[in-house]
Amino acid sequence: AQKITQTQPGMFVQEKEAVTLDCTYDTSDQSYGLFWYKQPSSGEMIFLIYQGSYDEQNATEGRYSLNFQKARKSANLVISASQLGDSAMYFCAMRDHTGGFKTIFGAGTRLFVKA
Amino acid sequence: NAGVMQNPRHLVRRRGQEARLRCSPMKGHSHVYWYRQLPEEGLKFMVYLQKENIIDESGMPKERFSAEFPKEGPSILRIQQVVRGDSAAYFCASSPETHHEQYFGPGTRLTVT
């Protein structure tokens, strides 16, 4: 069965430092997509980054990069040069062939950026 | 290009009333998904629709919940005879194709009193 696990309920990082948010997933499919979303206190869901299972390069989008380790089934989000505005909930998500069209979300990690 | 629009943003209903949540996808997007988020939890898939068709409703409760995406107009998530446990944030997302990333609306926060 498809599953997303985020083991860090909360994380603290100093402003301007890098932080890694962990995500592991479980699927028996070979074809799947991995996503990260940010949810600030205002509540909206903001798409950050996407990694396809067949992509050989790790995805990057500005200060966000996805550390994709297929054999370990992990898709960690790395945020470089943290900013105060990065304080939010972060959700890892997956969509695979077996799951059809639904996106499965992890429980989330709350990131606190300290000045 | 306007993003995904949802209304109302906040909805208060008494137990037993009906709740209607609306979602207008991004322009050019024909795929709509509804998710529910309980406090301090991740999003849970409810239903996936294309115009005039329900493609996957495996996450929808069997009773009281229904969804539609008519040929004209927004997608509607309807909850009949609401109970306190229906209190949650309901998010709509849209995508241009099945396997593309989904763009989320701001959500509707339903409170059942």
DSSP state of A59: P
Whether the CB-CB separation of B1 and B101 falls below 8 Å is answered with no
Alpha carbons A91 and A110: distance in angstroms, whole number: 9
pLDDT digits (tens, 9 = 90+) for A13-68: 999 999 999 999 999 888 899 999 999 998 889 989 999 999 889 999 999 999 99
| Helix (H) or strand (E) run with residue A90 in it | strand A88-96
State residue A57's pLDDT score. 93
Return the residue matching tokens 């991995």: A34
**Amino acid B100: pLDDT:** 67
A100 touches chain B (CB under 8 A): yes
Measure CB to CB from residue A43 to each of B31, B44, B106 and give the nearest one.
B106
By CB atoms closer than 10 A (0-12, 13-18, 19+), residue A64 is middle
Q: Is A105 on the interface with B (CB under 8 A)?
A: yes
Q: Residues 12..71 of A with a Cβ closer than 8 Å to B: which?
A: 33, 35, 37, 43-47, 50
| Residue B89: Cβ within 10 Å count | 20
Minimum distance, in Å, between the CA of residue B93 and any CA atom of chain A: 9
Q: Which residues in chain B touch residue A45, judged by CB atoms under 8 angstroms apart? A: 43, 91, 93, 104, 107
pLDDT digits (tens), chain B, 113 positions: 579 999 999 999 999 999 999 999 998 888 999 999 998 788 999 999 998 899 989 899 999 999 999 988 999 999 999 999 999 999 999 988 765 678 899 999 999 99
